[in-house]
Amino acid sequence: MTTAILGGGLTGLTLARLLHEKGEDVIVLEAADKCGGLCRSLAVDGYTFDMGGSHIIFSRDTEVLAFMRRMIAGNEQRNNRNTKIFYKGGYVKYPFENGLSDLPPEDRFFCISEFIKAQIAFETGSARHPENFRDWIYFTFGKGIAECYMVPYNEKIWKYPLERMSAHWVEGRIPRPPVEDVIKSAIGIPTEGYTHQAVFSYPLNGGIEALIHAIAEPVKGKIRTAFTVQSVRRDGKGFIVSDGKMEVRADRIISTMPVQHLLSCLEDVPEHVRRACDSLVCNSLVTVAFGITGKVPDISWLYVPDPRLGKANRISFPSTYSPYATPPGFSSILAEITHQPGDEVSAMSDDELVREVTATLEAMKIVTRDRIAFSRVMRQPFAYVVYDLDYQENIRVVTEYCTSRDIPLVGRFAQFEYLNMDGCIRSAIDFVRTHTIQ
């Protein structure tokens, strides 16, 4: 019995490993010339950069966190998160609601007074239940935190009108901050938010791709790269998967590749299913990597909500994650720009993107251009799932259809959910626990 796993990112490789450990025969079919998907890293000239944007290892899921840390045991650097928001020329501690004392006094007052009003409205039940993401931000944080940070940052990262985004996914992911913590932070008593991420792990060597290699190790011989799945059809009780040149027969398939790609490989997909799939929204990503002479600020990563500072929404400093991420005497910066397929950013050349981010870094007084020793632009077509208002109905239609064709969907763009690495590994573990070939 052979299982073909379509897509060799983190999810596909985790599935392959877990099924292999259960004694099952697997084959991973990956379009790119190396595995890892969003978790690939670029190693060049002594630098290591995560191609799909800065990745850190953290989780509330203790089983999954233990798995990831076991995978990189002996190659693990533990780091204390030191993350900031760049606001009006200064640094505000992250999460923003835990950094209010870093704000100018009038903004601090605006944020705290509006937060308390929102809290009273919530507790007395006088606030209207939020029907979209924009309303949810105001409902949860109040007008001050919303307008100083949450709205501009979310507009920058999602590139989608916040009033046309659903709020169903934020509950739990962005918790309502405890009122005591917000008041303390406004008057200068230190508090921590998102504590499950306050300490994170990162591979000493190899970037986040080191995690991929460690997971893939027992199934290395079962991976076929440069195999872009183009058609999937039934063959008796099994399947035939083809890249247009070669065919692979399997008794079962699991798809971890973007669901849009899967549907384009299937024949006779009903029109309403295609429409639902075409209506799913996602963001693409450009990452711009820089090698820098000398030091960069000792910050893990920075959020950049202000649209006047340019297109980058987040800037990370990989050389603060691992001492081996750069050659000695150098440091590094990785800027992320989300965008919609086919927009202005997609049309920008690599040189234009480097110039764009260089201007941002100079405006923020992080580096001057004469210190840039290396630069490289990388592009990821699938980066973030955007939960628009029709998302829940569309994904239901698509998932039910794939299930009816015996094709389980596991992973970030297969399930089409905002899953971090831990969520992908959790999905793979749960899948393997509940689906065993008889």
Ligand X SMILES: Cc1cc2nc3c(=O)[nH]c(=O)nc-3n(C[C@H](O)[C@H](O)[C@H](O)COP(=O)(O)OP(=O)(O)OC[C@H]3O[C@@H](n4cnc5c(N)ncnc54)[C@H](O)[C@@H]3O)c2cc1C
Total residues interacting with ligand X, rule: CB under 6 A: 37
**At closest approach, how far in Å is the CB of 287 from ligand X?**
8
**At closest approach, how far in Å is the CB of 180 from ligand X?**
28
Tell me: does residue 12 bind ligand X (CB under 6 A): yes
Tell me: does residue 285 bind ligand X (CB under 6 A): yes
Q: Which of 25, 31, 238, 359 binds ligand X (CB under 6 A)?
A: 31
Tell me: does residue 11 bind ligand X (CB under 6 A): yes
**At closest approach, how far in Å is the CB of 318 from ligand X?**
12
Tell me: does residue 203 bind ligand X (CB under 6 A): no
Tell me: does residue 260 bind ligand X (CB under 6 A): no
Q: Which of 3, 8, 160, 289 binds ligand X (CB under 6 A)?
A: 8
Tell me: does residue 207 bind ligand X (CB under 6 A): no
Q: Considering beta carbons, is residue 16 or 112 the nearer one to ligand X?
A: 16
Q: Which stretch binds ligand X (CB under 6 A): 9-17, 127-135, 216-224, 246-254?
A: 9-17
Name which of residues 230 to 259 contact ligand X (CB under 6 A).
256-258
Residue 131 is which amino acid?
A: E
Name which of residues 56 to 75 contact ligand X (CB under 6 A).
56
Tell me: does residue 39 bind ligand X (CB under 6 A): yes
Tell me: does residue 412 bind ligand X (CB under 6 A): yes
Tell me: does residue 6 bind ligand X (CB under 6 A): yes
CA angle at residue 204 from 203 to 209, to 5 degrees?
40
Tell me: does residue 76 bind ligand X (CB under 6 A): no
Q: Which of 215, 302, 420, 432 binds ligand X (CB under 6 A)?
A: 420
Q: Considering beta carbons, is residue 34 or 355 the nearer one to ligand X?
A: 34
Q: Considering beta carbons, is residue 7 or 144 the nearer one to ligand X?
A: 7
Q: Considering beta carbons, is residue 138 or 200 the nearer one to ligand X?
A: 200
Name which of residues 366 to 395 contact ligand X (CB under 6 A).
382-384
Residues of this chain that interact with ligand X (CB under 6 A) are 6-12, 29-32, 37-39, 52-53, 55-56, 228-229, 256-258, 261, 285, 336, 382-384, 411-413, 419-422, 424
